[in-house]
Structure 1
Amino acid sequence: MSIISALEATGLRPLGGAADLRPGATLGNATDQGIIGVIAAAVLALPALRGRDWSARIGLAAAVLTTVLSGSRAAILGLAAVVLVLAAAAATTRTIGRARAIVAGAAALCVLGAAAVAIPVARERLFSADTVNGRWLLWDESLKLIAAHPWTGVGPNGFVDAITGFHTLEWAVRVGGTFPPDSPHSWLLQAAAVGGLPLLLTAALLAFLILRSARENIRTAGPGVDGDNLTGAVAAVIAYGLMLLTAFTSPATTPVAAFICGGLVSTSRAAVPHVRPPAKAPPAVRTWRSFPAGTVTSGLFVALGLGLAAPPPTGTP
């Protein structure tokens, strides 16, 4: 994907498409291209920097290049968030020292900023205000739509039709009707628009439970390969949540983020070789303190979200 991104940055279109449209590599959308690049960079960063795996280093360089060439402001912000999360994790665990972690993080941010400004396609996108103005208008109209349906939302795939009743003359002049929005371009507003405030609160609480579970798993894993993998995963998930504050869920990016998130919160760990298994302990006495409240609550929230997202019946066939 990075090779196609580089070709598109020079004005070529190896996959077709008009020259005046934003490039998107194999994903067809520049923001999706950048999001995938950020997720890949987060997962590969620590293995590439701490080990001698050249395939990981090449993959990290390709992921960063793909992100910058996308010209997506959300993706560049997400990559900066990855740098901050990894630097904070290194400083907290004291694997390389707090001072070195701060210096390395600051240097990485400077290189990222310089690359974004030096590459013409990224620089042009960064300093363009057209989509920013369109976002503000869309968010304002989305809030009005949510206020009109605060408890039930407009259902899945209902936004594209419902939002037309809230478009203003300013929207028609600035944005037009060529590309009608099918999402508020923010996951918080998207959840509220689909299922109202109940789905928004469910999504926010589920995100909190995921991060809390991830923190506990990282503490349990400790320093080493497992700790690095989990830290990279949590950096990818946090960056994905930040990027979706100005973007929308997509079948090109959401399954990848969900897969990484599932591995992040899983409680199983591979058996460590060369370690004698402990003697069989007597069965633990189950009390209310041992009840897996977090797991059960997360499962109920997922079921509730799926129920709210299910399309209503269209009638008897």
Structure 2
Amino acid sequence: MTQTIVGTRASAPVAAPARVRSGRVLPLAVGGVIVLLPFGGISVPVVGMSVVDAAMAVPAALALRALARDEARLPSSLILSGLSLGLAACVVSAAVGVDPGDSVKLVVISLLTFGYGLAVAQAYRPGLEIDGLDLLVLVGGIVAAMALVSAGSLQAVDAGNVVTGRLTGPFSQPNELGQFCAALLPVAVACVVTSGSRRRTAALGLAAALLATACVLSMSRGSWIGALTGLAFLAVCEPATRRVLAAVGLAIVGTICAAMVLPTTTPLLGVLGSRIRTLGDPTQNQYDDRPLIWAEAWRQATEHPWLGVGPGGFPGVAARSASAVSADPPDHPHDLLLTVLAERGVIGVALGAVVVAGCLLATRAQLFAAPRPGSAPRALRARSLAVIAALAAVLAHGAFDMPLRNPIVSGLVWTLLGAAIVVESNRGEHPRW
């Protein structure tokens, strides 16, 4: 019996240790992290981390042990290269940053999340693109349900620039919930289309509906744009999802038209319409300090251009500056690009671009792969493209906010990055592990 490791050619099989062939410990450990996502807001007192961050240590340790024992090899992946070099740059940036003490916790979490992403790639076996992603969507539906249960009364203030009663659920603020739901929506659509059974279709459809509802009621404009970006990406790249996405698009257009026509005093739809109108001129929000925060981030980036001020160093540097946000500095610059630029410099941004390039190459490989008969290859392709679409949603939302440090969002994103490594390494072919 032979095994082909990711990144090697099918014509050059490598003998697999019996432990790797028969063991299911690593996939179960990854599944355990996914199951714990709804509890990511709970902190473990002993280690000072969230439940999700602490749980990532188990699959990360298993993945590193497999590499140390030569039971696995690093996948041939540009995404993995960008992430690993980014981790090294993160450590260097922390060491030479303005205040290394502020960066220690984020560096430790970065080590855990990177190890977990590698574990997701190593844990993949044929069939897990079905069961693994279905589990992720179902857990996402549970998170959305938790948020919906805690829904309050939505009210628009300042012409919709501020909305009270927004959903948060297990998250600390609505934008985190919005990004979580927006990222999972393309995956949910692909899973519904390729489920293969009525029971799974019903369960996944319910989870998708919960995710969509929670995304809307989060009133996060950035997550709306991210969700539309991810769904549009999937519709363009994967024909099998277009019928479902056309129905989703009609529902979205109908809802927007109703929200824009009805009076602003109409419950829910009136608030939604007020919020949508603010997209035309988002700078009119008198309570939004983001322009000032972005200016401070740019100032820090220009003073520390190459390696930045260090991971997590933005608020400390802002507090010691003469900027307009020094009295109450935020945790991050509320923009993904500016956060990386300020805290990790041009080098960090360049390595992030390598990851994006790897995702684009993975998409190209899936689009130009020779079509093969059977439902399994079609499901693999649709779900592979959905993973990239989910990351596109995260990137689009990152232009408006930076909720990636929430442990639930972080756990989801690193699960998707690990899956994206598998997608890129497959190069459009179904691997044999």
Same topology, TM > 0.5: yes
Distance apart, 1:132 and its partner CA: 7.8
| More displaced stretch, 193-202 vs 234-243 | 193-202
Residues 22/63 of structure 1: CA separation in 2 closer, same or farther (3 Å cut): closer
Residues 207/79 of structure 1: CA separation in 2 closer, same or farther (3 Å cut): same
Structure 1 length normalisation: TM-score? 0.69
Residues 131/206 of structure 1: CA separation in 2 closer, same or farther (3 Å cut): farther
Match of 1:233 among 364, 384, 387: 387
Distance apart, 1:3 and its partner CA: 3.4
Residues 102/233 of structure 1: CA separation in 2 closer, same or farther (3 Å cut): closer
What residue is the counterpart of 1:278 in the other structure?
A: none
Contact 1:142 1:193 in 2 (8 A): yes
What residue is the counterpart of 1:155 in the other structure?
A: 310
Match of 2:182 among 18, 38, 49: 38
Residues 216/136 of structure 1: CA separation in 2 closer, same or farther (3 Å cut): same
1:48 corresponds to 2:202: no
CA distance in 2, matches of 1:257, 1:116: 31
Percentage identity across paired residues of the two chains: 21
Q: How many pairs does the alignment contain?
A: 255
CA distance in 2, matches of 1:257, 1:131: 32
Q: Secondary structure at the match of 1:232?
A: helix
1:71 corresponds to 2:199: no
Contact 1:24 1:30 in 2 (8 A): yes
Contact 1:150 1:196 in 2 (8 A): yes
Q: Secondary structure at the match of 1:224?
A: helix
The residue type equivalent to 1:85 in the other structure is F
Contact 1:221 1:227 in 2 (8 A): no
What residue is the counterpart of 1:139 in the other structure?
A: 294
What residue is the counterpart of 1:182 in the other structure?
A: 331
Structure 2 length normalisation: TM-score? 0.52
Contact 1:49 1:57 in 2 (8 A): no
What residue is the counterpart of 1:294 in the other structure?
A: none
CA distance in 1, matches of 2:342, 2:203: 42
CA distance in 2, matches of 1:39, 1:24: 16
What residue is the counterpart of 1:2 in the other structure?
A: 144
The residue type equivalent to 1:29 in the other structure is Q
Residues 104/85 of structure 1: CA separation in 2 closer, same or farther (3 Å cut): farther
Q: Which runs of 5 or more structure 1 residues have no equivalent in the other structure? A: 13-18, 273-317
1:170-204: CA deviation from partner (whole Å, max 9, x where unpaired): x58xxx73xx3111111111111112111111111
CA distance in 2, matches of 1:63, 1:115: 21
CA distance in 2, matches of 1:57, 1:123: 26
| More displaced stretch, 221-230 vs 137-146 | 221-230
Contact 2:150 2:169 in 1 (8 A): yes
The residue type equivalent to 1:9 in the other structure is A
CA distance in 2, matches of 1:140, 1:219: 42
Q: CA RMSD in A?
A: 3.3
Contact 2:178 2:215 in 1 (8 A): yes
Residues 112/245 of structure 1: CA separation in 2 closer, same or farther (3 Å cut): farther
1:259-286: CA deviation from partner (whole Å, max 9, x where unpaired): 11221231254559xxxxxxxxxxxxxx
Distance apart, 1:119 and its partner CA: 3.8
1:241-266: CA deviation from partner (whole Å, max 9, x where unpaired): 11112221222212211211221231
Higher relative contact order (CA 8 A, sep 6+): 2
Q: Secondary structure at the match of 2:369?
A: helix
